[in-house]
Amino acid sequence: MSQFCSIVLPWATKFGALEEACFAALLCTFMFGILDAVGLKFLWWTWHNSDVLYQDRVMGVPIVSAFWIMASTLALSFVIRLIVRSDWFRNANIVAVSLTALIAGPFATVVIMNIPFVVFYHPLVTFLGFSAALPLFLLRLVCAIIVARALWARKRKFSPDAVFYMAFVYISIFAAVTVCGTPEAVRRTSYSQPFGACEATESSFWGAFNRSQYVCPEAVNAERDQYSFSCLDTLPVGGSNWYTVCGIPFYPTWWRDIIWYFGGGLGLVVLSQLRPVHDKRS
């Protein structure tokens, strides 16, 4: 839902392919970011707690996740725009469209998606050792400048369509879960990173990094991992990958960041419905 809305909403702006893709990328970094943060807070999933790629986090969510969803949405939006707005697409049959989608989707999310990683992420993080927050900020800034220039270039009028209301409902549901939920009451019992000794390690990212093989109580950082073992009478059995973890309360910085995500997402959803005044739907 978050990626669908992010890609379709900017169609109303009548932007070019690049500007539309940048708008979609900005939208999804907030729309999917809400899902990422709220889902982790209520333990719908957990992240590996010692992987080097997940070291830099916001609200417990690895920043690389935000960069990944932004890059993949940018790529998908760009490719979809080129196909959907082409003369060929208007006359193609369902078989041709389906076969094209089978090729275009992987091409966008494997090849084009990696361009932002090659330009921003790996030079700054992998090779120079900067925080993952820097390439994410730079990619957001570049996209924001491109979108702002495109919005400023033509007089526009707010005219929402059905997808706008879908996005509004999506954000409202997560806002309700956040406001009404009690994360410290959550108990997650599921398949997880195996529990065991802190000393055991394994390789990750095709041997590029080493990480702890197991979750151990000494290595759990509740604010980073968004869970603890404090509600349990006894710890999980060593080597088990099916066990219970305990949710933790909200804390002030989490509220600050999630309000930014909700506000940014809602603001971009509204901006995406600013149609050119000469558009027949204005």
pLDDT tens-place string over residues 84-113: 888 888 788 888 888 988 998 899 999 999
pTM to 2 decimal places: 0.91
The pLDDT tens digits of the residues spanning 132-146 come to 999 999 999 999 999
- If one counts every other C-beta atom within 10 angstroms of the C-beta of residue 193, the result is 19
Query: How many angstroms separate the first and last alpha carbons of the chain?
Result: 26
Residue 148: band (very low, low, confident or very high) from pLDDT cuts 50, 70, 90: very high
What φ, ψ does residue 255 adopt, rounded to 5°? -60, -40
- The 10s digit of each residue's pLDDT in 258-281 is 999 999 999 999 999 999 987 665
- What's the rounded mean pLDDT across residues 38-58? 94
* Burial group, residue 57, by CB count within 10 angstroms (0-12, 13-18, 19+): buried
Q: Which two structure tokens, joined as six digits, stand for 203?
A: 């390789």
Q: What's CA 253's distance to the chain center, in Å?
A: 19
What's the mean per-residue pLDDT of the chain? 93
